[in-house]
Every structure is written in structure tokens, then in C-alpha cells.
Structure 1
């Protein structure tokens, strides 16, 4: 299964936030959109990603004062990307090794979607179930 196939099925909607937004605003956006991370865009260029973990670390480190600071101060700057032609298995390995849960998908430096570890696990389970069903059918027909 390829990233492009997953995006085709789930859609290409990506929630974004600007680097100048406050941590408080980012918390509110994550909550209202019911997502775990947002891509940080500056003039249509991906400059970071901010996750629930980043925001919790900000408050743990600086207390309530962190809420008024910018997303840029606490976002992950070294963004790891995915490409539409990559496989579920390759991304699962990359995400597990680097302990990340979200990968923006880009084509020619243009954001075209986002993949979460949950998306990948869902597709992997579907593949395994389809294979098991195929084997059961094969065995049943003899």
C-alpha cells in the first residue's frame, strides 16, 4: 500500500497553524479540530510541525507563561516528510525508529497531505485481514 492510496481514501485535508500563533491558540485548534498535530506553515512553506507532545512539553518547561509564547518557540523544526510513492512498511519503520506520530506528505516542496501512525496501522491491519480471509477461502475450497 502506498501513501498516495491512503491519501486518496482519507482525503488531503491538513490542518495548519502559523509560526506566530500562540501556544494557547494552538491548543484550542488541536482541541477543536480533534487532531494530534498541525503542520506549521509560513507563506505556504512547511517550517515545522507542532504536536500535543510539543505543547505539553512547553507548559511543563515554562508553566502558564508558555501559553502566550509563539508556536515557533516550541514546534519541531526538523520535519521528517513522506512522499506519495512510499510504502506503509517503510513509513512505519521510520516513524517507529524516530518516535514520531505524524508525517507531512509533500510533492516538490508542496504540502499535499498528512499521514499519522494511526492511518498506517489501520491500513496494515486491513492488509493482514484481507490476506487471512484469502487464505481461509483458499483452504475452504481445497
Structure 2
């Protein structure tokens, strides 16, 4: 399955935050939107990703004071992107190798969505279920 198909199913909604916003605003949005990461954007350009892991790391290192500091101090600035034409297998390999759980998707240089490890796992489960059903149908017809 291709990334474009996952985006069609889940939609292209992307939740973002500005790099100068306080980390507490990122926490509130992560909770409100019920997501594990936000894309950090400045002037229509992706400059980072702030994830639950980044928040935990920040609070662990700096205590409650971290919540008042800008997102830019705690985000992952080395963003790993994916392309809509890539396969789920490509994403799984990259996410596993890089130990990341969220990949922003760029289509023609524009942010088209975000794929999480949960999306990838759901896709793999759905595919395995379809294959099993196909085999049951084949065996029953034989």
C-alpha cells in the first residue's frame, strides 16, 4: 500500500504550532487533538516536530520551567519526511531505523499530512486481514 492511500483514508489534517509558542501550548494541543506530535511551522515551512517524547525529555531535564520556554528549544529540528509515492514498507523501515513515530508527508514541496506508526500498524493489520479473508474464500471455493 502507498502513503497516498493511507492519507486518503485518514485525511490530510495536520496539527501545527509555531516555534516561538511555549511548550505548554504544545502540550495543550497534543492533549486537545489527541495526537502524539505536532509539526512546527514558520511561514509555511516545516522547521521541526514536537512530540510527546520531546516534551518528556524537556520536563525531565528542566522541570516545570521547560513548559514556559519556546517549542523551538525542545523540538526535533532534523525532520525526516516521506513522499506520498512511498510504500508502507518503506515507512516502516525508516521509522524503525530512525526510531521515530511520526513522519510528515511532503507532496510537491508542500505538507500533505502526517503518518504515525499507529497508521502504519493499522494498515498492516488491515492488509493481513484482507489476505486471510482472501485465502479463506479461495479454500472454501476449492
Tell me, yes or no, whether TM beats 0.5.
yes
Deviation at residue 93 of structure 1 after TM alignment: 0.9
**Whole-Å Cα distance in 1 between the matches of residues 131 and 140 of structure 2?**
14
**Whole-Å Cα distance in 2 between the matches of residues 106 and 46 of structure 1?**
10
Structural RMSD (CA): 0.7
Question: Who is 2:57 aligned against?
Answer: 57
Deviation digits for residues 75-111 of structure 1 (CA, Å, limit 9, x no counterpart)? 0000000100000011011101111110000023210
Deviation at residue 64 of structure 1 after TM alignment: 1.1
- Count of residues paired in the alignment: 142
TM-score if structure 2 supplies the norm length?
0.98
Structure 2: 5+ residue runs without aligned partners?
Answer: none
**Whole-Å Cα distance in 2 between the matches of residues 134 and 64 of structure 1?**
53
Question: Who is 2:31 aligned against?
Answer: 31
**Whole-Å Cα distance in 1 between the matches of residues 72 and 57 of structure 2?**
14
SS of the equivalent of 1:47 reads: strand
Is the aligned partner of 1:22 residue 2:18?
no
**Whole-Å Cα distance in 2 between the matches of residues 21 and 69 of structure 1?**
8
Query: Runs (4+) of structure 1 moved beyond 2 Å?
Result: none
Deviation at residue 141 of structure 1 after TM alignment: 1.1
**Whole-Å Cα distance in 2 between the matches of residues 55 and 109 of structure 1?**
28
Question: Who is 1:103 aligned against?
Answer: 103
